[in-house]
Structure 1
């Protein structure tokens, strides 16, 4: 086989961790580990949800040979120049795993490479793209018959990344609740104090409940703890008034760092990434909107999605023009508040499992949320495990089938074979 490049286009933290990671593993397992024959490059495009650490995360993947961060993307797109002046093999494939589906068309033409897109909800530009791997048959239905042969159902990449089941012997003896407040300051400012206040209410009623908080790889523990400190975060007093201090791990106490309140609540901080081996033991989760909801849905973990509006201008991560307007200096804060109010009034669904099913499988709580009200819902679920079981079963029903990374890699292998024929 002639040497070839696989150029992976991706963008945000969700795509890099839940799409790129399983695919590069499958490429190395199926196509081969010899980088002199198949070289994997990851190029990131700008994303309103980005943390700025996506390139660092991608560089941790041993299967990847080269990574370029998003600030250099448009220079590469328009002029074909990477920041490090990468060379390219004569043959290759541009694989889309996040961003704008128009990008692989331009880069495929520039490099003379074939193009493959993973489409989760919509397949665009099908006249100019060589092949698609799609999540389910719903993506294929609107495509004209003359182009349907380009599309193959591969399944859900997120379902590939996560464990599918936990044996009864592995289930924790006491209820475990996961807290996923996000990774960006705008979400953490409200999410950390609100979730701590909710957890405190549950803990007072059910002290055997365990709480864990998987820490995003882009976040250090001291920064995280600052959002639980009223002297550093003014939202603490507006979201229930529960403060917590950081307690680091030590040989003679807890093996993990934790946030601890004055009333004895402990929230274990999970620094292993990804934290699926911990999450799969949880009976439910508190989460904000974003890729977290898709990962929890793939795991079949019931969740309560929190969209607090105590600080309405905090969320500035909308896509497209709204995201640009909300990020403008001086007027951005006012515009963000207006845009968020308009979006929330539309009554649209935000959690990925709800979007997949086009119905509210898991509750999305919007407004000036009160910790006591959310805690009552959690305590009701804990007292009625049948409710949790029904939600779990429904989540697994709407989750895409597993094996997507393997199927998508088989498409790549097919395209490489065409290049060598």
Structure 2
């Protein structure tokens, strides 16, 4: 079940036939292809106590061949997920939640505000990155569930005044969250909740709802640091071939990401105005340590043609709407201000939007297209780690070449051959170690 910050939730999407991606049987064309899920709106609980069943066909069954049906099915999946995740579409009311219509904060926080309500109001008033705030907001239901399971001196902790919340009670709440989550509760999970609660309590201190921060004295837990799994050269070849053949726009995005040196969210935020193809650079908004800054990134030779292709698609969108007097690079057709032409939007193609798509869409595609279909366990972000390792290995090779030349001159040799073969007894072992870890391209040639 996927929970949204507007209180609504929906089930995972189900596809019929379930083997729509792999079937080769013409008999499957006789079946009714569709997408189904259940949507829950708490404000419509009386009318739909068990949620509303949603079915999407969207003309899929008009296609008479498997290839066309698959393309339509994938397109409808991507569009529906974007509507649900990014535009907060409500299939019951047939509405999209406009940012301007979001409810503003009601009431003022004081020392008598109930614990959970105080957390919600303090988070709402906190000025911080939208994604970080959304991440904390998603934790509050788990905090509330735990706090309602705990009674202290006859009172339910969730309803106790915020000023009476002590370090002891917070520790009890954290432990109860762990009990609820079971084996999924790790030291890292504990530390994330600890950090996010500290952020909210700092805000509550500033608002004078409480005098001290109950998180003081709750120490971080030490966990086992796992080395991030990266793709082998062979795995990258398989991924490259599979995505290029079956999911082209995701393949293009993955290759550009590999050469970009930035995070998924940063790349998804790139608009046409942020790209200078002629000078071969693009800029991203980097949000780190509570600060934001613009950072220029090089368009590397390995990704240049793909950038050229996607920018051509974006320019085509502008050209198609050239007769619209209200249209510019920062307007959608029709003149609605504030919408930008994002390079990687729905289906990872250029599109006018009020904001970028969520990075969860990249993880979902990777899970569906790579992990499930190819049996690969490394995550999408491992591509960045692989590239970083390659860059370091490249610099190590350069350093070895420079050091070898210096050693040759010192020993009176005109070439490095004697140093490599005679004097440098560790040369072969050193180069062997570097070669075994080197991955020079996204999909190295055989």
Q: Report if TM-score (shorter chain) is over 0.5.
A: no
Q: Which structure's CA Rg is the greater one?
A: 2
Give the number of the structure whose residues are more often strand, by fraction: 1
Q: TM-score range by the shorter chain?
A: under 0.3
Higher relative contact order (CA 8 A, sep 6+): 1
Give the number of the structure whose residues are more often helix, by fraction: 2
